């Protein structure tokens, strides 16, 4: 019973500290150093305490190692999932429509997505005029925008990139 309790505590503590590590890394990359440093302190404290328990144990050998590795893997998975849900990311979405259709622009605007509209044409079908839309949104709103665009133009080309910074302009405010 003692080995089971030790392995479970190692497993769940590793999930917690690795999940925090994923969040810390993402916040650090996004320039939120203060938040990242607080999370890092908690992460290392948990890591130190669990490693101390794992190394001081005279029981379990391979079971302790498996609990440690399983907790790390699970923590990476959970940390990535939680970070994608709770750490806000701005993205730039560029959409090239398959044809020029003012109705698409109207519907996108009515759905609260402010867009910069650029006239575009293709190389292959030079006679086919298109629009290029540039829209800045929160990543959590992308699915809604993508579904809207594809319902209006199933052949639209959609390109997404993460924004580190934007100045002026309008951003879609998710509901």
- The predicted pLDDT at position 94 comes to 93
Asked whether residue 118 falls in the same domain as residue 69, the answer is: no
Residue 112 lies inside a defined structural domain of this protein: yes
- The answer to which of 18-27, 97-106, 165-174 has the lowest mean pLDDT is 165-174
Report the pLDDT averaged over residues 74-96.
86
How many domains is the chain built from?
Answer: 2
Whether 173 is in a domain gets the answer no
Q: Are residues 22 and 69 in the same domain?
A: yes
Is the same domain home to 105 and 36? no
Helix (H, G, I), strand (E, B) or coil at 117: strand
Q: What is the rounded distance in angstroms from the CA atom of residue 58 to the CA atom of residue 56? A: 6
Residue-wise pLDDT for 87-142, tens only, equals 778 888 999 888 777 888 889 889 988 888 888 876 766 666 788 899 998 888 89
3-state secondary structure at position 135: strand
Mean pLDDT of the 76-91 span: 83
- Higher pLDDT, residue 20 or 139: 20
């Amino acid at each position: 019973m003692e080995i089971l309790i030790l392995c479970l505590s190692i497993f769940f503590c590793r999930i917690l500290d690795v999940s925090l590590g994923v969040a810390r890394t993402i916040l650090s990359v996004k320039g939120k150093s203060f938040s990242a440093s607080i999370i890092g302190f908690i992460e290392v404290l948990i890591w130190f305490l669990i490693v101390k328990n794992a190394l001081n144990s005279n029981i379990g050998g391979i079971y302790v190692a498996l609990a440690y590795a399983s907790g790390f893997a699970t923590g990476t998975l959970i940390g990535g999932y939680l970070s994608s849900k709770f750490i806000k990311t701005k993205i730039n979405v560029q959409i090239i429509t398959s044809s020029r259709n003012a109705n698409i622009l109207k519907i996108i605007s009515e759905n609260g997505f402010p867009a910069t509209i650029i006239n575009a044409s293709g190389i292959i079908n030079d006679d086919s005029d298109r629009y290029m839309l540039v829209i800045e949104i929160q990543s959590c709103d992308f699915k809604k925008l993508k579904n809207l665009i594809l319902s209006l133009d199933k052949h639209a080309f959609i390109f997404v990139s993460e924004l580190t910074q934007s100045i002026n302009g309008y951003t879609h405010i998710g509901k």
